[in-house]
Amino acid sequence: MNAEIDVSQVVLKTERLTLRPWKESDLEDFYEYARVDGVGQMAGWLPHKDREESRKILRMFIDEKKTFAIEYEGKVIGSVGIERYDEEKLPEFQEKAGRELGFVLSKDYWGRGIMPEAVRRIIRYLFDEIGLDFLACGHYVENERSKRVQEKCGFRHYRLVKTETSYGEERDCWLSVLDRASGN
Ligand SMILES: CC(C)(COP(=O)(O)OP(=O)(O)OC[C@H]1O[C@@H](n2cnc3c(N)ncnc32)[C@H](O)[C@@H]1OP(=O)(O)O)[C@@H](O)C(=O)NCCC(=O)NCCS
């Protein structure tokens, strides 16, 4: 089952990063990476067309209290969402408390191990402090970069599923699972 989550007061630190709630003043940083072609598409959404679109999503991040901003050298360069997983796709997890991670990083910062660093810290927070039993994480079958991030963080492929993008396209997606008991 999906656990209740509220990260609106939570700040986590890693060697290079601060993971913290989103603020309205993050709009320029957000729009700067969300408008770039080839970023959002890999996570199921299209590049933002204008600042207004980014402003609406940013407002949603703040209201829904489940998404961390990734701050690096004073700038927001990505996000990690503690999303609700699809309970119909993982019915055997009904007795366990879990969520699904979703993440995006500004293209300018790819390939430096930043997302694995952020995701590892958030996994530790969700297992050790919140007490979740498991985490799910998905990637489109062709998304090798996300697959590598997930592998490096301990996730293993669990089930091939169909998902729908925010713009109504059906895609094949590998759903991976990380169990707290696996020691990660
Ligand atoms: C997936 C994503 C978060 C990876 O973050 P990251 O911090 O770059 O992750 P890493 O640095 O660990 O790199 C992951 C893999 O990308 C590849 N990579 C390395 N350098 C790269 C570069 N400069 N450009 C592109 N890809 C690169 C490598 O295969 C690397 O795996 P490796 O460690 O086995 O070499 C980022 O590419 C992204 O935001 N992509 C678009 C959105 C997305 O796919 N989100 C996930 C949805 S499921």
Pocket of ligand 1 (CB under 6 A): 39, 42-43, 103-105, 110-116, 138-139, 143, 145-146, 148-149
The whole domain housing 95 covers: 12-132
Q: What angle do CA 146, 117, 16 make, to 5 degrees?
A: 135
- The predicted model scores a pTM of 0.96
Name the band, by pLDDT with cuts 50, 70 and 90, for residue 1: very high
For ligand 1, atom 48: residue with the closest CA: 139
Q: Is position 44 within any domain?
A: yes
Write down the residue that tokens 């796709």 correspond to. Answer: 89
Ligand 1 center–CA 91 separation, angstroms: 30
Instruction: Give the count of domains, the chain.
Output: 1
Q: Tell me: pLDDT of 181 over 90.
A: no
pLDDT digits (tens, 9 = 90+) for 71-93: 999 999 999 999 999 999 999 99
- CATH number at 66 reads 3.40.630.30
Virtual torsion, Cα 12, 30, 79, 48, nearest 10 deg: 170
For ligand 1, atom 12: residue with the closest CA: 113
Q: Is position 146 within any domain?
A: no
Integer Cα distance of 34 and 52 in angstroms: 12
Q: Tell me: pLDDT of 183 over 70.
A: no
Torsions phi, psi for 116 (to 5 deg) = -55, -35
Q: Is position 153 within any domain?
A: no
Q: Is position 127 within any domain?
A: yes
